[in-house]
Structure 1
Amino acid sequence: MRALFVALLLLYASGSGKVAGASGAKGNRFVCTAVPAGTDLSCSVDTSGRVQSTSPQEEELRNIIIQLRETILQQKETIVSQQGTIKELNSKLARCEADAKSRGSARRKDYSKNTMGDLPRDPTETVEQLGKTMQSLKDRLESLEQQLRANTSGGTLPNDLRDLLKHRLTDLESQLLTRVTELEEEKSQLYNETTAHRQRTENTLNSLLERITELEKSNSAFKSPEDFKVSLPLRTNYLYGRIKKSLPEMYAFTVCMWLKSSASPGIGTPFSYGVPGQANEIVLIEWGNSPMELLVNDKVAQLPLSVSDGRWHHICVTWTTRDGFWEAYQDGERLGTGENLAPWHPIKPGGVIILGQEQDIVGGRFDATQAFVGELSHFNMWDRVLRPIDISAMANCSAYMPGNVVPWVDVNVEVFGGATKAALEICEDRLFDS
């Protein structure tokens, strides 16, 4: 088109055809010269038909167009680079989400809510939005390039248009970088939340495994279910054991156990049984400088027992509602008897048996001054009065009789507040003490 324009100018300027001709010809002839493709044809023709060189204004316009084309190419390269970055971030986010779903614990995000301006929270929508933005940028650049080409024939490009173009390009690039940064931050937040939840889960599992290991060691340490002891080393109101089984209604009972204590004054309360309305239904206690006492329905009988020498002792107490008759045994020997201890009072059912504490209410409100300090084992209870020969056989380790109401077995005893259970073969340990 530009070559045709120059040719028309030459034709107009030649007038009578004196640019070139051959003498003797009938008419005027024009000489046409082939111009190679890509040759710069930006020139002007004066009124005399002579070709003039390019003006400074046209040269400036040409330089501006070249600069704008370079800027456009750079922006296109930047957009392609940002697309690659966005795809990489989207892939990383997808992997993070897949990892979180596989653990079943990552917090789900609400993608329907837009909290990043016009940037959707869904990574797929984010990529689509960025693609639309980049396409819009490309279209605007092409439109501006066409406007520049159209304006090159009409004069110099206005400075305000050039500045507006540069400002707009900078603004669009800034928006693109900001959104990519927001995506990176969201990915980092998701990773941190997933890591924290995984850490909490691992800590919980480790605690459970440690507890299971302790229980396995505890169980494996007992050669048989009854070969263990409960240790209550401090005089507090929070160390105690609890028997899981309760008592039926009874008209007689025998309670036997092994005790080891050196506490003074008084070893405390080896056991107590409380029921609703009567916390002292059955209590064995040695408190302060008083002798050991047996309480039934809050009635008291003093027992001639002494076990605070720091060695293992086998003690038994029996009681029957008939005349309130009771007996006290230590190491197989009957040391005392009496009567009129809560006569004709049946033992009430459905209460709580506590080892090591005296109950002021059923199952609680312990007094530290009445707490048992030491070790106990083989707490058994029967709903009848045992024969002296049976009690002596248990004390001499020649026989073992589990209680028909409360037997001493590991699964039947709970410990709290720092009280512990440990393996013990009571007859061997007692022999060693001797």
Structure 2
Amino acid sequence: MRATRSGISWRLFLFSCLFLGSSSQDFGGQTQFICTSVPKDMDICAATLQNSVPGEDLKTTVMQLRETVLQQKETIMNQKETIRELTSKLARCESQSGAEPGDARPGGRRKDTGSKNTMGDVSRGPADTLAQLSQTLQSLKQRLENLEQFSRSNNSVQANSLKDLLQSKIDDLEKQVLSRVNSIEEGKPGLRNETEQRGRVESTLTSLHQRITDLEKGQRDNRPLDKFQLTFPLRTNYMYAKVKKSLPEMYALTVCMWLKSNASPGVGTPFSYAVPGQANELVLIEWGNNPMEILINDKVAKLPFLINDGKWHHICVTWTTRDGVWEAFQDGVKRGSGENLAPYHPIKPQGLLILGQEQDTLGGGFDATQAFVGDLANFHIWDRKLSVGEIYNLATCSSKAQVGNVFAWMETSLDIYGGASKWTFEACRQLN
């Protein structure tokens, strides 16, 4: 393209050379132009530069102007190619959207709803198509703005004219997109109604989410940050809470919490802690008809808890790596103990602690059948074995009760996902 100087680019180049080849003199405020004769076979621009006084400056200017014109010519060719491509996409979109996925095709073949073209999935609705086309138009407009900035920096009349032309083309094309998509939607009232309904639902959900956020904010303003409970009303693979920080390496631990559930069979997974290479580093789960279990490094101990009666219960589990000794407490009373639970294996750091779901992979792989259903509150972790008296104080809400030194129950320590809700909670209200 750079070797061919034709059309307006060559004329502008020639005009620049001739203009620079002339000189002017000012006599009494009037300007006269003096033209220099040039031999017939001599290059005009070369002669102009030889006869001009500031030869190097004029030569540089001519070269810059020539480069600018060539760049603008490349730009308009690119823009024309983009417009042709977009017009072709519009035509394909209109033709492919005229038939439903199950329509009969010539030769007895049926439309493949999974087929794709440069527009993406052809089974997508007009609203999706419009969004994708709008992105393409936005890209064009961005390129046009870049061209405008370039023209301002080079003060090029040619570039300004080109900008106006392209802006007009893009505006017309955008109107064409809107017109065609509207005509497609008018021909499919069911699809239009579905789009409108989805829009109303999304608007309602957004409004509801905002109202809930405002209510939660008001609750946080009026209560201590630890006086709350998490509610998981359904078995899903998307409702959970994530603890913002990881656990440290631990050679002993105590985990305590308040639980309420009437789910059957099994209340699910109140919490799970996974580390790279081990999804079952520390898990509390009651799944199916099995009793509640504590897993450490994928080793299992069965716990003698009975909690799915729809009432609040306080449970604690202690463990030490020495001989893998563990103890289980319900409502302040020791219910069972054992040993050889992952002996001499310290709890590893740099993991992810999830409330309400069992992790099959680090931070994911949730199974709805293993999800916790019910209410959870006052979840605390210590890196030591609490005494019987300390656990009793927790279960009876004694003023001597302590909070976890590894993890303490605070709203600011959790991120909540999937519709799990928070409510004001006073741990020992049911004991009064």
TM-score by length of 1: 0.52
**What residue number does 2:289 align with?**
289
Partner AA of 1:354 in structure 2: I
Deviation at 1:116, TM superposition (A): 6.9
Look up the match of 1:84.
none
Q: Matches of residues 192-271 of structure 1 in structure 2 within 5 Å?
A: 213-221=214-222, 223-271=223-271
Cα-to-partner distance string for 1:362-392 (whole Å, 9 max, x where unaligned): 1111011110000100000000000000100
Give the 3 Å change call, closer, same or farther, for CA 116–351 of structure 1 in structure 2. closer
Partner of 2:160: 112
Q: Is 2:298 the counterpart of 1:298?
A: yes
**Aligned counterpart, 1:160:** none
In the alignment, the residues of structure 1 paired with residue 296 and residue 385 of structure 2 have an alpha-carbon distance, to the nearest angstrom, of 15
Q: What RMSD in Å do the two structures reach over aligned CA positions?
A: 2.9
**SS in structure 1 of the partner of residue 217 of structure 2:** helix
CA distance in 2, matches of 1:226, 1:315: 18
Q: Distance in 2 between matches of 1:306 and 1:339?
A: 21
Change (3 A) 1:323 1:209: closer
Q: 1:211 to 1:312 in 2, by over 3 A?
A: closer
1:280 alignment partner, SS class: strand
SS state of the match for residue 161, structure 2?
Answer: coil
SS at match of 2:428: helix
1:167-182 correspondence to structure 2 within 5 Å? none
Which string of whole-angstrom CA distances, capped at 9 and with x for unpartnered residues, describes residues 292-317 of structure 1?
A: 10101000000100100001000000
SS in 1 for 2:305: coil
Distance 1:270 1:215 in 2: 23
SS at match of 2:291: coil
- Give runs of aligned pairs for residues 20-419 of structure 1, distance below 5 A: 112-113=160-161, 213-221=214-222, 223-399=223-399, 400-419=401-420
Letter in 1 for 2:241: G
Percent identity between matched residues is 55
In the TM superposition, residue 214 of structure 1 has moved relative to its aligned partner by 4.5
Say which SS state the counterpart of residue 408 (structure 1) adopts: coil
Distance 2:212 2:379 in 1: 26
Length-normalised TM-score, structure 2:
0.52
- Residue type of the partner of 2:361? I
Partners of 1:253 and 1:397 in 2: CA distance: 21
User: Structure 1 residues 115, 386: closer, same or farther in 2, change over 3 A?
Assistant: closer
Task: Give the distance between the partners of 1:228 and 1:115, measured in 2 at CA.
Answer: 60
SS of corresponding position for 2:221: helix
Residue number in structure 2 paired with 1:20: none
Deviation at 1:423, TM superposition (A): 1.3
Secondary structure of the residue aligned to 1:112 is helix
Distance 1:330 1:348, change over 3 A: same
Number of paired residues? 244
Could you say which residue in structure 2 is the equivalent of 1:155? none
How far is 1:419 from its partner?
A: 0.7
Q: Does the C-alpha gap of structure 1 residues 112 and 369 become closer, same or farther in structure 2, counting only changes over 3 Å?
A: same
CA drift of 1:398 comes to 1.2
| Structure 2 residue ranges without an equivalent (≥5) | 1-141, 149-158, 176-202
Runs of 4+ in 1 over 3 A off after TM superposition: 107-111, 113-117, 206-215
- The verdict on how the C-alpha distance between 1:209 and 1:369 changes in structure 2, with shifts beyond 3 A counting, is closer
Unaligned runs of 5+ in 1: 1-106, 122-181, 190-202
| Structure 1 CA distance for aligned equivalents of residues 161 and 214 of structure 2 | 47
Distance 1:215 1:344, change over 3 A: same
**For the residues of structure 1 that align with 2:419 and 2:210, how far apart are their CA atoms?**
20
